[in-house]
Amino acid sequence: MTVITIRHRTTYTYEEAVSLGPHRLMLRPRESRDLRLLSHEVTVTPKAELSWSSDVFGNAVAIASIASPTDRLVIDSVARIELDIEPWPVFPIAASAIRYPFLYSEDEWTDLGAMTVLQYEDPADRLRIWARGFVRGEETDTLALLKDLNTGVGAWIGYREREEEGTQSPSETLDRGTGTCRDFAVLFAEAARSLGFGARIVSGYLSNPDDPDTIGSAEAGSTHAWVEVYVPGAGWISFDPTNRGMGGYNLVPVCVARNIRQTIPVSGSFAGGPAAFREMEVEVVVSR
């Protein structure tokens, strides 16, 4: 077992005092059989009232209501977690799903619902044709196919940091040949869905102190995006196309969602002059 501390600070600065609308926070690590949350504290400056709830995916969401006008907003999240994840997990895939293509059961298909539906338009069927290129023959090993697709995204696309908000569509990522972890995750999830898999986007933290060259990791840690694919018997399997990794050994999930726009860690609004906003800074430190 490994105990990890995650410090995540988001700072907004303004040229003048502004009135802040409610801010939506998704910062609490998502507990599971492999992850136990030991403690979690969120501090907002200026003082805010926090109201906690769960969204449709079971993610923890806090709404911060800030009454005082301010020229600086700081949101500090500190979490201590205990991880119990094997670096090389074995996935007990059901006999019915070992070979691709396979059929989900009626209940699985119904419950996966929107997780199997493409989120971006693909009128020329380009994404499906690209994804089909990883299918070896009329029938192939399911896990090998997903591994090849995961590795293929990293081989086709080069990692490039991008400061602007938003995520590229899969077609844009294929055209440009570069992207961030968000773009890698969206491309992989959509490609898996085009092949008939249920897939969901995961947002959280990446930490790999044993390998400082891990793509997307800024020294002591960083926010990160990856994908989980549902395979009968094994359940949700994590794939990190940015680093061509499988399994959640270096990944700390905070939230899962159908679309990556549903995984923003901090979002909100302010009322002020047209040039009031100065900058936003994000600092993440993941330590063991």
Angle (CA) 111-117-122 rounded to 5° is 175
State phi, psi for 168 to the nearest 5 degrees. -70, 150
Structural tokens at position 15:
């040229």
Which range, 74-88, 93-107, 115-129, is most confident? 93-107
Token pair, residue 26, equals 């998704």
Q: What is the pTM of this model?
A: 0.94
Q: How confident is the model at residue 207 (pLDDT cuts 50, 70, 90)?
A: confident
List the end-to-end C-alpha distance of the chain, in Å, as a whole number. 11
Confidence of residue 123 (pLDDT cuts 50, 70, 90): confident
Q: Is the peptide bond before 46 cis (omega within 30 degrees of 0)?
A: yes
The predicted-structure confidence for 240-283, as pLDDT tens digits, reads as follows 999 999 998 889 999 999 999 999 999 999 999 889 999 999 99
Bridge partners for 198 per DSSP: 230
Encoded tokens for 277: 């906003």
Q: Is the peptide bond before 101 cis (omega within 30 degrees of 0)?
A: yes
pLDDT digits (tens, 9 = 90+) for 108-117: 999 999 999 9
Whether residue 210 has pLDDT greater than 90: no
